[in-house]
Amino acid sequence: MGKKTILLLCLLTAGSGLYAQEKQNGEKESKTDYTEAIVLVEVWMDAMQKFDEIPGISAIALEDQEVIWKGAYGEANPDEDVKMETNTICSVCSISKLFTSIAIMNLYEDGKLRLDDRLEDVMPGYDLEQQFELSGPITIRNLLTHSSGLPRENAYSHWTDTSLEFPTKEEILKSLNEQETLYPSSTYFQYSNLAMTLLGYIVEEVSGQTYDEYVREHILEPLELDDTRPDMPEDLWGGQLAVGYTVETIEGKQHKLDLFDPNGVTPAAGFSSTVEDLADFAAWQFRLYDAEEEEILHPSTIKNMHNIHWMDSDFGTSWGLGFSVYKGPGDKKWVGHGGYCPGYRSTLMMNPESKRAYSVMTNSNNPSPGKYARGIHAILSKAGSIEEADEELAMELKAYAGYYEGQVGRGISYVGTWGDKLVRMGLPADNPGDFSKYRRVDKDHFVRIRDNGEDGESMRFIRNDKGEVIHMKYYDNYMSNKIELE
């Protein structure tokens, strides 16, 4: 981690800044400086990959059409020392449902189907038993919003089969008559991989193309998502395609998993991609919001997909057309989807109002990637317009930047700069946006700035005979000389 520490300090020293520009009512542009926020993101993500014991993790932050930051930590293939990169491919599992939903809406725009078409009318041979005599019809809209009443899964136990063999389309269709509905249609939200799988089959039935051909021709190729596929590329496994690992068992071990073929479940859970491609995917959606012409979909269609079309009676679950729609950070509307497949977890979070998007992927079933996406957002949201700072003081404060370790409990804090202030972040941190800011009182003596602007507790630094900062004293307790994370 020594090289990473040097890189972070170089970022601070360079001070060139990464800016996002905003126009307000045609007035003078204001700029947001993300430089020091990005340093904290790097520090936090690097530490969390180690503390959470994730083999590898990649992440990206987007603002409209511009990537604010991207990074990767750990390894895509620990056995071969293959590093995780932002173009490392992972299974995105249920994020696949977004591509299937867009394919359906593309056919809808072409007049080849209607959202209120009955499932049995657009899919000849569908024969899953409807056990509720008074149920309404199961429609394409029901399938998109997980309100169809269909079972969550097909008739095969492929998620728990140690062979990781997924059924074919033919096997899934043949076994439909072995299943029955769970609920009357339009009664409850019931997340259903089976429903989304059937939507993929409807794409084939209506378009006359295979599912793979349709999504490649109508979505992936136009958007130039070159590392996104409706499969898991076996020839890249262990290289650009990360090797997946299980959750940490009670014995404290994560087990390596074999590559799986999603087969007939592809429309619901079979895609692979990178955080870079998912950022481009998000950028397309933001671009379409303001477009005056069609780009795969009409602007009104993507907005409609991002609106709530299903709300559970307890107001706890809401869904758009294929998209999860929920109140997220800042009490704002967020849309997207998560993914969980054997050995991989992923998320895509998008805020239509700010046009911020985040994608995170791990090659492990430990812990939720949403935690990292929310953490990155929390830190970057602290960045503001460039303010006049005491540049001389800002340069002096760089001497304090680094990691400090407690002498007994071995807890770690990172101290960094924030203009002409210091910030301190305890590690690990579940809420990294809650870092504290400090102003200098005199040489090596700082006080925390409380939320109301008043002074809080002191933080002091101790130097050696050479004048180098080696200790931090906080709450009258010492943290050891600056360390490097391994």
Q: Take residue 41 and report the two structure tokens written for it.
A: 């993101």
Q: Are residues 211 and 157 in the same domain?
A: yes
Last residue of a domain, one of 336, 366, 396: 366
Let me know if residue 309 belongs to a domain. yes
Q: Count Cβ atoms below 10 Å from residue 134 Cβ, excluding itself.
A: 5
Q: Are residues 188 and 331 in the same domain?
A: yes
Higher-confidence residue of 20 and 215: namely 215
Which range marks the domain in which residue 43 is found? 2-52+382-479
Let me know if residue 322 belongs to a domain. yes
Would you state the pLDDT for residue 261?
Answer: 95
Would you state the pLDDT for residue 61?
Answer: 98
Distances (CA, A) of 40 to 73, 88, 371, 433, 434: 15, 23, 16, 9, 12
Least confident of 324-328, 330-334, 381-385, 410-414: 381-385
Would you state the pLDDT for residue 389?
Answer: 74
Does residue 5 surpass a pLDDT of 70?
no
Does residue 59 surpass a pLDDT of 50?
yes
Would you state the pLDDT for residue 483?
Answer: 67
Q: Are residues 193 and 326 in the same domain?
A: yes
- Tally of structural domains, the chain: 2
What is the average per-residue pLDDT within 152-164?
A: 88
Distances (CA, A) of 448 to 423, 424, 438, 458: 9, 9, 4, 6
Helices 193-207, 96-109: axis angle to 10 degrees equals 40
Q: Are residues 244 and 163 in the same domain?
A: yes
Write the pLDDT tens digit of every residue in 264-281.
999 999 999 999 999 999
Q: Count Cβ atoms below 10 Å from residue 477 Cβ, excluding itself.
A: 11
Strands 19-22 and 30-33: antiparallel
Would you state the pLDDT for residue 31?
Answer: 73
Confidence class for position 391, pLDDT limits 50, 70, 90: confident
Let me know if residue 76 belongs to a domain. no
123 HSE (CA, 13 A, CB side): 22
What is the average per-residue pLDDT within 404-423?
A: 88
Would you state the pLDDT for residue 6?
Answer: 41
What is the average per-residue pLDDT within 71-86?
A: 98
DSSP for 202-256? HHHHHHSS-HHHHHIIIIITTTT-TT-BSS--GGGBTTTBPPPB----TTS---B
Smallest CA-to-CA distance from 20 within 289, 384, 330 is with: 384
What is the average per-residue pLDDT within 330-357?
A: 97
Highest averaged pLDDT of the listed ranges 153-162, 213-222, 393-402, 408-417? 213-222
Higher-confidence residue of 17 and 138: namely 138
Would you state the pLDDT for residue 164?
Answer: 87
Q: Are residues 128 and 268 in the same domain?
A: yes
CATH of the domain at 329: 3.40.710.10
Write the pLDDT tens digit of every residue in 207-246.
999 999 999 999 999 999 999 999 999 999 999 999 999 9
Let me know if residue 486 belongs to a domain. no
Confidence class for position 24, pLDDT limits 50, 70, 90: very low
Q: Are residues 275 and 173 in the same domain?
A: yes
Rounded-to-10 torsion of CA 121, 124, 126, 132: 30
Does residue 478 surpass a pLDDT of 50?
yes
What is the average per-residue pLDDT within 56-60?
A: 98
Confidence class for position 434, pLDDT limits 50, 70, 90: very high
Does residue 250 surpass a pLDDT of 90?
no
Smallest CA-to-CA distance from 201 within 171, 160, 181 is with: 171
Mean pLDDT estimate for the chain: 91
Does residue 305 surpass a pLDDT of 60?
yes
What is the average per-residue pLDDT within 49-72?
A: 97
Q: Are residues 223 and 340 in the same domain?
A: yes
What is the average per-residue pLDDT within 433-457?
A: 94
Let me know if residue 313 belongs to a domain. yes
62 HSE (CA, 13 A, CB side): 25
Compute the residue count for the chain: 486
Let me know if residue 281 belongs to a domain. yes
Higher-confidence residue of 390 and 256: namely 256
**Residues in contact with 459: Cβ distance below 8 Å, sequence separation at least 6, in sequence order:** 422, 424, 438, 445, 446, 447, 448, 472, 473, 474
Q: Are 60 and 95 in contact (CB under 8 A)?
A: no
Rounded distance between C-alpha atoms, residue 307 and residue 319, angstroms: 8
Rounded distance between C-alpha atoms, residue 80 and residue 76, angstroms: 9
Strands 324-328 and 310-311: unpaired
Higher-confidence residue of 94 and 24: namely 94
Last residue of a domain, one of 334, 366, 398: 366
Does residue 21 surpass a pLDDT of 80?
no
Let me know if residue 7 belongs to a domain. yes
Q: Are residues 353 and 393 in the same domain?
A: no
Would you state the pLDDT for residue 16?
Answer: 38
Q: Are residues 128 and 176 in the same domain?
A: yes
Does residue 446 surpass a pLDDT of 50?
yes
Would you state the pLDDT for residue 485?
Answer: 67
Q: Are residues 169 and 219 in the same domain?
A: yes
Write the pLDDT tens digit of every residue in 135-151.
999 999 999 999 999 99
Let me know if residue 77 belongs to a domain. no
Would you state the pLDDT for residue 200?
Answer: 98
Q: Take residue 359 and report the two structure tokens written for it.
A: 């994608």
Would you state the pLDDT for residue 12?
Answer: 43
Q: Are residues 297 and 402 in the same domain?
A: no
Report how far Cα 231 is from the mean position of its chain's Cα atoms: 20
Q: Are 474 and 462 in contact (CB under 8 A)?
A: no
Last residue of a domain, one of 366, 396, 427: 366
Q: Are residues 100 and 183 in the same domain?
A: yes
Q: By CB neighbour count within 10 A (0-12 exposed, 13-18 middle, 19+ buried), where does 398 fall?
A: middle
Q: Count Cβ atoms below 10 Å from residue 99 Cβ, excluding itself.
A: 27
Write the pLDDT tens digit of every residue in 25-36.
444 455 788 999
Residue with tokens 């758009």: 320
